[in-house]
């Protein structure tokens, strides 16, 4: 027996037709004269009407077992669905061994850790699998939007011989008697690639050896990185704003989210521009609101939470102090204490970080030294800047954080299939 239809393909047009459907048994209710069976596949539930005299064995099949069955489509008497299936033949059955580690219907709630330990089963919950369908749709929209803007998708190495951005948060490992690292970002590669390819993007996992146990940090996270020649940080902000608005429209159109619960996607006015605040604006505003902040310092979690309360929806913070930014960020031409950089925030959460890039190799060398990095370790990268490197700009968008905020989930682990954090490296 082979599946002929998915759940969502069953409708009133095929009443009277014989179909084969496949999925897992979500529910069995024996009310004497008939047995109601609910079979679910990834597209939704199917109500199956079973004659207990003809199929007494159905009561013996444990819930969550997979099954393929055949039957006739008929009009349903239930208000919740238009059609149902009258069971005529049972094909192969693939048994679920009870007790199961979690109840994927959600009737019995399990803690996130328990669910993640049984992720494959957890995904049989519609609310959970919807998050990953949304993630998949968002990826499709990201690729389409960026391709339309003439970006080329690239794949750069994740095993690297030296730190791409410097800093201490690299995973180091033994590589045939040498040291190697897991890439923390594609920063140097994407900058090199614009020399010929003009506009590039990469969607890939990156690795940070940060011992942070928060709802927004992972040791392996997905980033959407873009880099473009002859554009500046203002242009990149415009591109990212268009991109996020396209994703929101796409997600809304899926109808997969319970939008009453989801204030952000529901309430965002796509015709309004995302607010743009400078770092200086933020400091003034925070001081007015009795926050302890020093000009030049990074904005603490507390300060960002305050800003998040004062600014609804997405907002950019631009022109951060140069000393807070990595060596590749360009100084501001009016005030060299500041930089041509930006972050995109939603509430307290940072979603994107980017800026115009320093393209003068001598200035990069002195910035590297200032940050305690050895320019000799970057010689292979810096030589590219002598081959006619144009001005350029780019950014990195934390995909997991974006999906988390758009779906109204409160922990980044909810939207990552098999999350990695300091305590979790399996399954
Ligand atoms: P940054 O380090 O700010 O910038 O990273 C870019 C975005 O990636 C997300 N992110 C994370 N998400 C989950 N867990 C983490 N541990 C984590 N770390 C970062 C955030 C962040 O805004 N090379 C620059 C980007 C650029 O300038 O092009 C960079 O890596 O959403």
The pTM of this model reads 0.96
Alpha-carbon gap, residue 216 to 282, rounded angstroms: 22
Q: Quick: pLDDT tens for 221-269.
A: 999 999 999 999 999 999 999 999 999 999 999 888 876 666 788 788 8
Residue 405 above 70 pLDDT? yes
Better pLDDT: 161 or 135: 135
pLDDT at 162: 82
pLDDT at 334: 97
Residue 36 lies in a domain: yes
Query: Does residue 310 share a domain with residue 186?
Result: yes
Q: Is residue 56 part of a domain?
A: yes
* Distance from the alpha carbon of residue 416 to the mean position of ligand 1, in angstroms: 16
* Tens-digit pLDDT profile for residues 297-350: 999 999 999 999 999 899 999 999 999 999 999 999 999 999 999 999 999 999
Of ligand 1's atoms, which has the minimum distance to the CA of residue 185?
30
Q: Which atom of ligand 1 is nearest to the CA of 219?
A: 16
Residues 125-146 have a mean pLDDT of 97
Distance between Cα 231 and ligand 1 center (Å): 20
117 is a domain residue: no
Residue in 398, 405, 422 to alter for ligand 1 test, most ligand atoms within 8 A of Cβ: 398
Asked if 185 and 291 sit in the same domain, the reply is yes
Residues 282 and 398 in one domain: yes
Residue 262 is predicted with a pLDDT of: 64
Which of 154, 353, 397, 401 best tests ligand 1's pocket when mutated (most atoms within 8 Å of CB)? 353
- The mean of the pLDDT values for the chain is 96
pLDDT tens, position by position, 78-115: 998 999 999 999 999 999 999 999 999 999 999 999 99
Domain count, the chain: 2
Q: Alpha helices, DSSP H only, in 341-408? A: 361-370, 379-382, 399-406
N-to-C CA span, the chain: 33
The average pLDDT across 7-14 equals 98
pLDDT number for residue 261: 64
Residue 163 has a pLDDT of 72
- Closest residue by CA, ligand 1 atom 20: 398
> Does pLDDT of 420 surpass 90?
yes
Smallest CA separation from ligand 1 atom 3, residue: 353
Pair (166, 27) in one structural domain = no
Q: Are residues 87 and 135 in the same domain?
A: no
Chain position carrying tokens 């954080």: 401
Asked if the structure places residue 422 within a domain, the reply is: no
Closest atom, ligand 1, to C-alpha of 343 = 22
Rounded CA gap, 338 and 335, in Å? 6
| pLDDT value at residue 102 | 98
Whether 356 has a pLDDT exceeding 90, the answer reads yes
Which atom belonging to ligand 1 lies closest to the Cα atom of 208? Answer: 16
**Is 102 a domain residue?**
no
Please report the sign of the dihedral spanned by the C-alpha atoms of residue 157, residue 161, residue 167, residue 172.
positive
Q: Is residue 337 part of a domain?
A: yes
Q: Whose CA is nearest to atom 11 of ligand 1?
A: 398
Q: Which residues constitute the domain of residue 151?
A: 126-415
Kindly list the protein residues whose Cβ atom lies closer than 6 A to any atom of ligand 1.
Answer: 185, 187, 208, 210, 217-218, 221, 223, 225, 350-355, 394-396, 398, 400-401
CA atoms of 413 and 409, how far apart (whole Å): 9
Three-state secondary structure call for residue 221: strand
């Amino acid at each position: 027996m082979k599946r002929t239809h998915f759940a969502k393909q069953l409708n009133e047009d095929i009443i009277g037709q014989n179909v084969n459907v496949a999925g897992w048994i979500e529910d069995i209710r024996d009310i004497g004269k008939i047995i109601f069976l609910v079979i679910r596949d990834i597209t939704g539930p199917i109500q199956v009407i079973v004659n207990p005299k003809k199929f007494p064995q159905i009561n013996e099949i444990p819930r969550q077992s997979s099954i393929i069955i055949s039957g006739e489509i008929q009009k349903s008497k239930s208000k919740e669905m238009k059609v149902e299936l009258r069971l005529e033949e049972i094909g192969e059955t693939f048994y679920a061994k009870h007790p199961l580690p979690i109840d994927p219907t959600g009737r019995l709630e399990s803690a996130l850790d328990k669910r993640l330990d049984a992720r494959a089963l957890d995904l049989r919950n519609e609310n959970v699998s919807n998050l990953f369908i949304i993630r998949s749709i968002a990826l499709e929209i990201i690729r389409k939007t960026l391709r339309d803007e003439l970006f080329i998708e690239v794949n750069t190495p994740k095993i690297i011989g030296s730190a791409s951005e410097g800093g201490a948060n690299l995973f180091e490992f033994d590589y045939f008697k040498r040291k190697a690292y897991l890439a923390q970002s594609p920063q140097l590669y994407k900058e090199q690639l614009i020399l010929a390819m003009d506009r590039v993007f990469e969607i890939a996992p990156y690795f940070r050896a940060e011992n942070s146990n928060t709802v927004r940090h992972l040791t392996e996270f997905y980033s959407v990185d873009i880099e473009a020649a002859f554009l500046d940080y203002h242009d990149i902000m415009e591109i990212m704003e268009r991109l996020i608005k396209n994703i929101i429209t796409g997600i809304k159109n899926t109808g997969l989210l319970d939008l009453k619960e989801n204030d952000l996607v529901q309430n965002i006015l796509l015709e309004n521009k995302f607010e743009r605040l400078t770092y200086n604006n933020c400091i003034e505003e925070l001081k007015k609101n009795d926050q302890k902040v020093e000009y030049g310092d990074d904005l603490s979690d507390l300060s960002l939470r305050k800003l998040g309360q004062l600014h609804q929806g997405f907002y950019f913070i631009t022109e951060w102090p140069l000393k807070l930014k990595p060596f590749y960020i360009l100084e501001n031409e009016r005030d060299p204490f500041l930089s041509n950089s930006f972050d995109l925030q939603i509430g307290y959460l940072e979603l994107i970080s980017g800026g115009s890039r320093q393209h003068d190799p001598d200035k990069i060398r002195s910035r590297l030294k200032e940050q305690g990095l050895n320019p000799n370790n970057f010689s292979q990268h810096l030589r590219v800047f002598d081959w006619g490197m144009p001005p350029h700009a780019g950014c990195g968008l934390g995909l997991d954080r974006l999906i988390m905020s758009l779906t109204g989930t409160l922990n980044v682990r909810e939207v990552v299939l098999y999350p990695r954090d300091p305590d979790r490296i399996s399954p």
